[in-house]
Structure 1
Amino acid sequence: MIDEQRPGTQADRARWRRYLADERAEAAVYRELAARRDGEEREILLALAAAEGRHEAHWLALLDGDDDRTPRADVRTRILGALARRFGSIFVLALAQRAEARSPYASDPDATPAMAADERIHGEVVRGLAARGRRRLAGTFRAAVFGANDGLVSNLALVLGIGATGVPASVVLFTGIAGLLAGALSMGAGEYVSVRSQRELLEASAPDPTTREALVDLDIDANELALVYRARGMDEAAAREHAALVVARVHAAGQLQAPTDALAVVAQDDEAVGTGLSAAISSFLFFASGALVPVLPWIFGLDGAAAIITATVLVGIALLATGATVGLLSGASPMKRAMRQLGIGLGAAAVTYLLGLAFGTTIG
């Protein structure tokens, strides 16, 4: 704590008021998010709001309770609040994670060490909550993002390469539509096979439930069960200890069948895998929607350089949007991810365009 409360300079008091406004706004964000959740997640978010309330009280005490000239919270926090009121989604948690990481309290002489530590821990708490949401949508979201991005880049590259050869606009249009259908079907089928295979691998690694029946007859001293746990990654000492506890519990209870979790070391998390059908449908639809964008200029009657430039601009905007979305969900900088996505996508399309120019010149 601060040993001695001081009146502070005018600049100090202005800074304290900014902090006060931000703490109030951040607490409101967590309360808005809590209102859309229940159970443990709701309790965690309300606890975060209470912690922000303690920080608010600290700055208000330094201001002698004078909050008449408190400014509005910063733009980022106000945006967070608006999103939390309307959506309450994983995007808000991802943004909140970045906001907590930017706390200035570690270097501010008027913030207590406990407050600085709180903000760092809050970042990890929000990261954990955001990770829950990411796991819930990971399989379908991955198919959606990769599908849309592949559709944008591959079909832009295709129509630019064909358009650069000088063929009629109708040829470019039908080539783009063919690329859309072929790519969407291929992506959907590939994603279905990929996800189904991944789930089958998880199922093959899960314990055989019928093996539990043998546990009641195991020798509590020899205890072969320890070998199961060692095979699943435990070290020898931990495996023996865990196996002895399981067998002792089974024998003491006199059960005819062991508990369902007796053979498990780590619960299988197949939430992140998703289902084959949902991943395939998402991949198909998002690839098709992405692949449609570069064909739009030709659909609306443009041709030549005008169509090529329009297609490139439209795809560039879409690539920026998908890149920023991935950045938000991963807790990274949206701008950096957006620019990376744009550079990679347009770079690939530029290569095929130059090849198309060269091929068209050769034919001519």
Structure 2
Amino acid sequence: MSAPADAEPTEADRRRWARYLVEERAEGLVYQKLADRRSGEERQILQSLADAERRHEQHWLDLLGSEPSRLPSAGLRSRLLGWMAGHFGWIFVLVLAQSAEARSPYDTESYATPAMRADEKIHYEVVRGLAARGRRRLSGSFRAAVFGANDGLVSNLALVLGIGATGVSSSFVLFSGIAGLLAGALSMGAGEFVSVRSQRELLASTEANEDAALSAGDLDIDENELALVYRARGMDQAEALARSRRIIAAAQEGVRRSATGPIRAHAPSNDHELIGSDWTAALSSFLLFSSGAIVPVLPWIFGLQGLTAILVALLLVGVALLATGAAVGILSGGPPLRRALRQLAIGFGAAAITYALGLVFGVGAV
């Protein structure tokens, strides 16, 4: 679409341009703040996005003729992103910015240029790529952190409510909660360490090496098994044979490959980066399980008893479950409210079962 050739802009047009102007200015500020906190390639990409938003801003300024004396406020989402860009992790902000970039008003705006409409579509893909890169870095430790916190919340809530429903003393409920916290945190930390360490060792045992190529100079250039190495790595027969012949020819001519830079059949694997560090995962699980498991115990720590303590515990854990569920939804690109409600339903469901069992058995069974 293009702007009307002869139509005189209306006051409604000018108000709309002013709104676009402040939104572009706000979005440019978000990317600029994120760029200032990064380095290397990521900084350059974010800086380019900020520059593009300034070009869009200038387009609306040119149409308006000058800076209006009064401008509307930027939308709540843009203002919130601007604040978060200076205070929160950049991955979290990028995930929200990705959602914002997906809804461009320029597709139906006659005064927007085709380049601007194309820019907005490209921006969405760029932000999505940056967010995906950040998620890959975060996935190992974040997985352990979220699962640890959620397990702590749910398991210890179920424990203290089940124990509390039997009618035992508040000190016994408190002791049970602290014991559950320590036992669960140690178990989670140890289990996560073993799990991640095992995954890394399995990957290390299956990584390709170039030992076969070191003997390439002694192979027959026409009849050799080096091609089988590359076929085992996924190449087709013709490509594997062509590569093996190049390596053998180079070796026989006296060219020796550097041990620090082997040529691989595929790009270097980043599976280790995706899995994360075993110690980081274990520590995250321990600390996050503890931080989650302490929440249901807080009412008894502060001296509350009986039904009052149970209701306060349910309130505190409910808020925490909603927060962790929403965070998972935002970072995974899913609907935050749905994830939050799912977490709440699972946690309260487990607590309801143990509380009912506590009521059935009563104090006499303790």
So what's the TM-score if we normalise by structure 1?
A: 0.91
- Contact 1:228 / 1:263 at 8 angstroms: preserved in 2? no
- Contact 1:212 / 1:259 at 8 angstroms: preserved in 2? no
Distance 1:361 1:54 in 2: 72
Give SS of 2:275's match: coil
Distance 1:341 1:308 in 2: 19
Tell me which amino acid in the other structure corresponds to 1:63. L
Distance 1:174 1:234 in 2: 61
Q: What is the match of residue 168 of structure 1?
A: 169
- Contact 1:7 / 1:62 at 8 angstroms: preserved in 2? no
Pairing 1:124–2:128 present = no
- Contact 2:213 / 2:247 at 8 angstroms: preserved in 1? no
Distance 2:56 2:303 in 1: 60
- Where structure 1 has 5 or more consecutive residues not aligned to the other structure, the ranges are none
Give SS of 1:86's match: coil
CA separation of 1:102/1:342 partners in 2, compared to 1, >3 Å: closer, same or farther? Answer: farther
Q: What is the match of residue 286 of structure 1?
A: 288
CA separation of 1:29/1:303 partners in 2, compared to 1, >3 Å: closer, same or farther? Answer: same
Q: What is the match of residue 344 of structure 1?
A: 346
Pairing 1:54–2:55 present = yes
Distance 1:151 1:117 in 2: 47
Query: What pairs up with 1:1-364 in 2 under 5 angstroms?
Result: 1-2=2-3, 4=5, 6-87=7-88, 89-222=90-223, 224-248=225-249, 250-251=251-252, 254-255=255-256, 260-269=261-270, 270-360=272-362
Distance 1:250 1:7 in 2: 74
The alpha-carbon deviation at position 122 of structure 1 amounts to 1.0
1:69-113 Cα distance to aligned partner (Å, 9 max, x none) = 322221111121122233452111111111111222223333344
Tell me which amino acid in the other structure corresponds to 1:275. S
Tell me which amino acid in the other structure corresponds to 2:34. L
Give SS of 1:46's match: helix
- Where structure 2 has 5 or more consecutive residues not aligned to the other structure, the ranges are none
CA separation of 1:303/1:208 partners in 2, compared to 1, >3 Å: closer, same or farther? Answer: same
- Contact 1:188 / 1:281 at 8 angstroms: preserved in 2? yes
- Which stretch has the larger CA shift, 165-174 or 190-199? 165-174
Give SS of 1:90's match: helix
Tell me which amino acid in the other structure corresponds to 1:143. A
Tell me which amino acid in the other structure corresponds to 2:56. H
CA separation of 1:67/1:234 partners in 2, compared to 1, >3 Å: closer, same or farther? Answer: farther
- Contact 1:212 / 1:258 at 8 angstroms: preserved in 2? no
Tell me which amino acid in the other structure corresponds to 1:134. R
The alpha-carbon deviation at position 209 of structure 1 amounts to 4.6
- Contact 2:144 / 2:192 at 8 angstroms: preserved in 1? yes
Give SS of 1:260's match: coil
- Contact 2:30 / 2:81 at 8 angstroms: preserved in 1? yes
- Contact 2:210 / 2:262 at 8 angstroms: preserved in 1? no
Distance 2:99 2:257 in 1: 52
Tell me which amino acid in the other structure corresponds to 2:315. V
Tell me which amino acid in the other structure corresponds to 1:313. L
CA separation of 1:224/1:119 partners in 2, compared to 1, >3 Å: closer, same or farther? Answer: farther
1:192-232 Cα distance to aligned partner (Å, 9 max, x none) = 00000110111011123533312333444445333323322
The alpha-carbon deviation at position 318 of structure 1 amounts to 0.9
Distance 1:115 1:334 in 2: 30
CA separation of 1:256/1:100 partners in 2, compared to 1, >3 Å: closer, same or farther? Answer: closer
Percent of aligned pairs sharing the same letter: 62
CA separation of 1:253/1:57 partners in 2, compared to 1, >3 Å: closer, same or farther? Answer: farther
- Contact 1:90 / 1:130 at 8 angstroms: preserved in 2? yes
So what's the TM-score if we normalise by structure 2?
A: 0.90
Give SS of 1:59's match: helix
Distance 2:13 2:228 in 1: 64
Aligned residues, how many? 364
CA separation of 1:342/1:252 partners in 2, compared to 1, >3 Å: closer, same or farther? Answer: farther
RMSD, aligned CA:
2.5
